[in-house]
Amino acid sequence: MINATREDNIRRIISMEDRALKCYRCPELQRCVRKPNLGKGDLEPEAVFVFESANNFNEDIDNLLQLRKNISTAYGINKIYHTFLVRCQPKACPAITNLSCYGEDAKLIDKDYKCILTNSLCDGVPIRPTDTQIVSCLSYTIEEIAILNPNYIFLFGERVGDFLLKSWGVFADKEVPYILQYEDNNIFVVDYEEKFDESYCNEVKALLKS
């Protein structure tokens, strides 16, 4: 992972996001996704958070701010960026059986994020992405982290840790949470974000001293 200026980071992140926005590797997800979820935060971050995918917890700004506060307090980290392993959130859709009159590539979400099958806001239930969906999206996250080159990388969830570490040639068979180093990066493989309260944050911090 190489160092770069903030302007270089902006240019390279925009290029990566343009490709992600045009991605059609998971056509089964495209129908109910208006646009992929993109990373947000400081573009010269001390830490990058990687969530498995967008969900009800990490899309709540209060939860996200509390998570950032916990880590900022514990580690003295203030410049933070977060992103996703899978950018198009898979959903279990109760209206999906009514698709016989629509083409396979038809968008089922309009510009106002309403389902064209029900004429109401999408009520699909977020579900965990499949391994195939993760692999299809993995290259974007690897590229994003390489561009930002943070000192700290927090991988939320065992699956996130497993896929990203293996992509870097790191094979770790350890119980979550655990910490390791890859090149100049300190990597924290921790439980899913909804479990990362102040107490859990301190438990992870204690690993640094052990």
Contact between 27 and 105 (Cβ < 8 Å) = yes
Adjacent-strand bridge partners of 40: 82
**CATH pick for 6-25+34-90+127-207 out of 3.40.109.10, 3.40.470.10, 3.40.980.10, 3.30.530.20:** 3.40.470.10
Please name the amino acid found at residue 210. S
Peptide bond into 177 cis (omega under 30): yes
pLDDT of residue 80: 97
- Encoded tokens for 128: 């965990």
**E-strand stretches of the chain:** 40-41, 47-51, 80-84, 91-92, 114-115, 120-121, 125-126, 152-156, 178-182, 185-190
Amino acid present at 198: E
* Among the listed residues 150, 134, 51, the one whose alpha carbon sits nearest the alpha carbon of residue 90: 134
pLDDT (tens digit, 0 to 9) for every residue of the chain, 210 residues total?
Answer: 445 588 899 999 999 999 999 998 988 777 777 789 999 999 999 999 999 999 889 999 999 999 999 999 999 999 999 999 999 988 877 766 555 545 556 677 777 778 777 787 777 778 899 999 999 999 999 999 999 999 999 999 999 999 999 999 999 888 999 999 888 899 999 999 999 999 999 899 888 776
**Beta 125-126 vs 91-92: how paired, if at all?**
antiparallel
**Structural domain boundaries of the chain?**
6-25+34-90+127-207, 93-126
Contact status, residue 188 vs residue 152, Cβ threshold 8 Å: yes
pLDDT of residue 192: 95
Q: Which residue has the tokens 């979400």?
A: 109
pLDDT at 4: 59
Q: Is 119 left (phi over 0), alpha (psi -120 to 50) or beta?
A: left
Distance CA 184, CA 179 (A): 13
Contact criterion met (CB below 8 Å) for 152 and 185: yes
Pairing status of strand 120-121 against strand 114-115: antiparallel
